């Protein structure tokens, strides 16, 4: 098996803080933080083993019923993967590549939130292997689709 990172880049970024500046003077107490993940991958060239993987992280903060901020980052990478196919290729794309992208998306989210005037926000470690296993368990078995 061969695995290399060809390029890491931001595909899309969105930041909204609809209540600023009143949020800074009126909100009391801690905001409720929510983090949602999405992962997509596309074959760029099967012959060359090139794949694009996009990790989407959407982070929201709410205080009572008011939206404090929303950050969405699509962090992408192009990976060259050779010598594997099938389930092992899927695992590599959805686990290994996601682990590579996570520190980059974490940095962008933290920087955007900080530049918006809010306290540091670090995304906790994510177990992409467990997420992959949950996704596989939720899909109907191929053996039972006869």
Confidence grade of residue 64 (pLDDT, cut at 50, 70, 90): confident
Task: Say how many domains are in the chain.
Answer: 1
Distance CA 69, CA 82 (A): 41
Confidence grade of residue 13 (pLDDT, cut at 50, 70, 90): very high
Instruction: Kindly tell me if the per-residue pLDDT of 60 is higher than 90.
Output: yes
Largest CA distance in the chain: 62
Instruction: Kindly tell me if the per-residue pLDDT of 74 is higher than 90.
Output: yes
| 29: in domain | yes
Residue 50's pLDDT is what?
98
pLDDT digits (tens, 9 = 90+) for 96-133: 999 999 999 999 999 999 999 999 999 999 999 999 99
Q: With a threshold of 0.95, does the pTM exceed it? A: no
70: three-class secondary structure by DSSP: strand
| 77: in domain | yes
Q: Where are the beta strands (DSSP E) in the chain?
A: 2-16, 32-45, 50-63, 66-82
| 143: in domain | no
Q: Which residue has the higher pLDDT, 136 or 79?
A: 79
CATH for 6: 3.10.420.10
Instruction: Kindly tell me if the per-residue pLDDT of 146 is higher than 60.
Output: no
Helix (H) or strand (E) holding 136: helix 128-138
Instruction: Kindly tell me if the per-residue pLDDT of 143 is higher than 60.
Output: no
| 75: in domain | yes
| 74: in domain | yes
| 142: in domain | no
Q: Which residue has the higher pLDDT, 25 or 130?
A: 130
Distance CA 64, CA 86 (A): 46
Distance CA 72, CA 77 (A): 17
| 106: in domain | yes
| 144: in domain | no
Instruction: Kindly tell me if the per-residue pLDDT of 49 is higher than 50.
Output: yes
Q: Which domain holds residue 133?
A: 2-137
């Amino acid at each position: 098996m061969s695995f290399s990172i060809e390029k890491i880049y931001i595909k899309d970024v969105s930041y909204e803080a609809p209540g600023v500046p009143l949020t800074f003077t009126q909100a009391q107490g801690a905001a409720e933080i929510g983090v949602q993940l999405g992962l997509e991958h596309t074959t760029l060239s099967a012959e060359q083993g090139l794949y694009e993987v996009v990790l989407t992280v959407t982070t929201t903060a709410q205080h009572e019923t008011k939206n404090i901020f929303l950050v969405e980052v699509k962090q992408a990478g192009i990976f060259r993967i050779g010598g594997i196919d099938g389930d092992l290729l899927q695992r590599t794309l959805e686990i290994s590549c996601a682990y590579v992208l996570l520190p980059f998306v974490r940095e962008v989210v933290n920087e955007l939130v900080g530049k918006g005037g809010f306290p540091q926000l670090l995304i906790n470690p994510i177990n992409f292997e467990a997420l992959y296993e949950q996704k596989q368990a939720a899909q109907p078995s191929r053996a039972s689709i006869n």
